[in-house]
A and B are shown apart, each in its own frame.
Chain A
Amino acid sequence: MLELKSIDAGYGSFQALFDVSLDVKAGEAVGVIGPNGAGKTTLMRVISGLIRPIKGRIAMEGTDVAATPAHRIVSLGIAHVPENRRLFPRLTVADNLKMGAYMPGARAKYAERLDFVFDLFPRMKERRNQMAGTMSGGEQQMCAIGRALMSNPKLLLLDEPSAGLAPVVVQQVFELVKRIRASGLTVLIVEQNVQQVLRVVDRAYLLEAGSIRAAGTAEELAASDTIRQAYLGV
């Protein structure tokens, strides 16, 4: 479904990704793990078009993503839940969700998608007239994921969904990811919480200092010595 080939990317003269290649197949959940500053967020941004690759190729179901204007990429079926959620804090939950359905294709199915998201997150239905910025971190994460789902995506990009949340809430967020997967969506998830993420994904890549250092199934990575020592603390 999504294929990255030899991507170099960065900000100005600072290069954050070096020759990164990865692929996500339809129906898969794939994780990208790695320490702070490894380039995980840059990777997400380069896929959703917030920054452009210096070199390399990104294809979504055969379409050249790097040649598509940033605001059209969501129409290719890629929805990005950004790091720190990035809700519109002084818009209501309902308006935030509405923004997720902005593009013409999604507008037509707005009511239908809203029902779907409210089914998935009944809490959002209760809070729909509340300002998004006044909710708890976990609720904001639900709202951010709900906003992304409003566009009826094929591929969901999740950037550090557990960041800044209490441990109990982290559990809930990963439960949610499982449920989203079960609904047939393809998921690419970037996480520092390696232990948790390896429980919900099929495969994962290890990104360190801007390069892919290892790749494999979740079981393989969980069993590998380097990852056990560096990330799982055992």
Chain B
Amino acid sequence: MQSFLDIFDIYLLEAVINGILLGGVLALLALGLNLIFGVIDVTWICYAELVMIGMYGMYYLVQVYHLPYWAAAPLVILLVALLGAALHYLVIAPLLTAPPINQLLATGGVLFILQSFATVAFGIDFRNLGIRLPVLALGEMNFSYARLLSFVAALLGMIGVYLFLTRTFTGTAIRAIAQDRQIMPLMGVDTKRIYLITSAVGGGLAGLAACLLVLQYDVHPFVGLSFGPITFLICVLGGLGNFIGGFIAAFVFAEIISLGGLFSDLEWGYVLAFAFFIVMMFIRPAGLLARRS
């Protein structure tokens, strides 16, 4: 009996730690989406598809063009950042004053365009980088280096965004713009430029997430569906546009998935997470950290 409990605790601890590691990447994804929503007041339904394009970028640079991983990653981050800016310039900017449903439909359209484009251009085969990182064994617990690396890189990415938003003039303007759009010209702020920069940063975060996810998952045209919906749920649970709420919600979800997977199959972890979300929507419809006004 005693030995059974020991093993059980080890597995529990392993699942908790794996949940934290998963939470880091989910928090990174949620931050990108929240940034766009919080600042521009638009939801990029196609956010996970930008990640998918970035994962293909990594695949081609590393597998086809034989660039080392560390050289390919900055290129992909830049590529997806430009993609984010292009998405804003071509799709969002003309629809800024349109009803939200039109904006949703437009970015939803981009989702299908990107999926179809990937299917035509890259085929439906599952592809991977061919990089197999070792596993770290701590006593009886096993952690993949890919997850540890992803967690640390995601955390650094989020710290970078935090410093950018709090220390720079542009970052301060990005935080200010959501609080009062109309008076921004009085500060000498060109709102169009701020929107473009924010979109590039949001895209860059999707690019960073792509670099990290491609270490753990195969890429295929529909890979966005594996983490797109969960990213939206995290943002809604944390309160759309609320960075701290999204951060907390990412770890709550990751733990539910990880612990749910411990007691049953991994899929049950997702079922539990989505069920939890539905219940929370009844209890706190505006999100965990809803502002009381």
Contacts of B173 in A (CB 8 A): 99, 102
Asked whether, in the complex, the Cβ of B176 is within 8 Å of the Cβ of A80, the reply is: no
Q: A71-B190, A107-B169 are in contact. Are A99 and B176 (CB under 8 A)?
A: yes
Within 8 A of A (CB), among B161-183: 169, 172-173, 175-176, 179-180, 182-183
Asked whether, in the complex, the Cβ of B185 is within 8 Å of the Cβ of A50, the reply is: yes
Expressed in whole angstroms, the minimum distance between the Cβ of A143 and any Cβ of chain B is: 13
B91 contacts the other chain (CB 8 A):
no
Q: A71-B190, A74-B188 are in contact. Are A99 and B172 (CB under 8 A)?
A: yes
Contacts of B179 in A (CB 8 A): 88-91
Contacts of A49 in B (CB 8 A): 185
Among B175, B182, B188, contact of A102 (Cβ-Cβ < 8 Å):
B188
A75 contacts the other chain (CB 8 A):
yes
Asked whether, in the complex, the Cβ of B186 is within 8 Å of the Cβ of A75, the reply is: no
Asked whether, in the complex, the Cβ of A72 is within 8 Å of the Cβ of B183, the reply is: no
Expressed in whole angstroms, the minimum distance between the Cβ of B136 and any Cβ of chain A is: 41
B133 contacts the other chain (CB 8 A):
no
Interface of chain B, helix or strand or loop or mixed? helix
Among A80, A82, A102, contact of B189 (Cβ-Cβ < 8 Å):
A102
Q: A82-B183, A107-B169 are in contact. Are A91 and B188 (CB under 8 A)?
A: no
Contacts of A88 in B (CB 8 A): 175-176, 179-180
State in angstroms the CA–CA spacing of A105 and B239 once bound together. 37
Residue ID in chain B nearest A74 by CB atoms: B188
Q: Interface residue count for B (Cβ, 8 Å)?
A: 17
A151 contacts the other chain (CB 8 A):
yes
Within 8 A of B (CB), among A62-82: 69-75, 79-80, 82
Q: Interface residue count for A (Cβ, 8 Å)?
A: 29
The 6 A-B residue pairs with the shortest CB-CB distance, nearest first, are A103-B188, A70-B185, A74-B188, A88-B179, A71-B185, A71-B190
A100 contacts the other chain (CB 8 A):
yes
Among A72, A86, A89, contact of B188 (Cβ-Cβ < 8 Å):
A72
A3 contacts the other chain (CB 8 A):
no
Contacts of A57 in B (CB 8 A): none
* Listed A/B pairs (25) with beta-carbon separation below 8 Å: A48-B186, A49-B185, A50-B185, A70-B185, A71-B187, A71-B190, A72-B188, A74-B188, A82-B186, A86-B183, A88-B175, A88-B176, A88-B180, A89-B179, A90-B179, A91-B172, A91-B175, A91-B179, A95-B176, A98-B172, A100-B187, A102-B169, A103-B188, A147-B187, A151-B188
Expressed in whole angstroms, the minimum distance between the Cβ of B275 and any Cβ of chain A is: 33
State in angstroms the CA–CA spacing of A28 and B180 once bound together. 31
Asked whether, in the complex, the Cβ of B175 is within 8 Å of the Cβ of A95, the reply is: yes
B86 contacts the other chain (CB 8 A):
no
Q: Among A89, A98, A106, which residue has the most Cβ atoms of chain B within 10 A?
A: A98
Asked whether, in the complex, the Cβ of A71 is within 8 Å of the Cβ of B189, the reply is: yes
B184 contacts the other chain (CB 8 A):
yes
Contacts of A89 in B (CB 8 A): 179
Contacts of B176 in A (CB 8 A): 88, 91, 95, 99
Residue ID in chain B nearest A79 by CB atoms: B186
Asked whether, in the complex, the Cβ of A74 is within 8 Å of the Cβ of B186, the reply is: yes
Contacts of A70 in B (CB 8 A): 185
Interface string of A83-120 (1 = CB under 8 A from B): 00010111100010011111100110000000000000
Expressed in whole angstroms, the minimum distance between the Cβ of B93 and any Cβ of chain A is: 16
Residue ID in chain B nearest A75 by CB atoms: B188
State in angstroms the CA–CA spacing of A103 and B188 once bound together. 5
Expressed in whole angstroms, the minimum distance between the Cβ of B131 and any Cβ of chain A is: 42
Q: A91-B179, A98-B169, A99-B172 are in contact. List 8 more A-B contacts (CB 8 A).
A: A73-B185, A74-B185, A74-B188, A75-B188, A82-B183, A88-B176, A91-B175, A107-B169
Asked whether, in the complex, the Cβ of B187 is within 8 Å of the Cβ of A74, the reply is: yes
Contacts of B175 in A (CB 8 A): 88, 91, 95
State in angstroms the CA–CA spacing of A119 and B175 once bound together. 27
Asked whether, in the complex, the Cβ of B172 is within 8 Å of the Cβ of A80, the reply is: no
Expressed in whole angstroms, the minimum distance between the Cβ of B186 and any Cβ of chain A is: 5
Contacts of B191 in A (CB 8 A): 71
Q: A91-B175, A95-B175, A107-B169 are in contact. Are A102 and B187 (CB under 8 A)?
A: yes
Within 8 A of B (CB), among A100-148: 100-103, 106-107, 147
Expressed in whole angstroms, the minimum distance between the Cβ of B97 and any Cβ of chain A is: 14
Among B184, B186, B190, contact of A80 (Cβ-Cβ < 8 Å):
B186
Contacts of B189 in A (CB 8 A): 71, 99, 102
Among A50, A75, A99, contact of B182 (Cβ-Cβ < 8 Å):
A50
Residue ID in chain B nearest A96 by CB atoms: B176
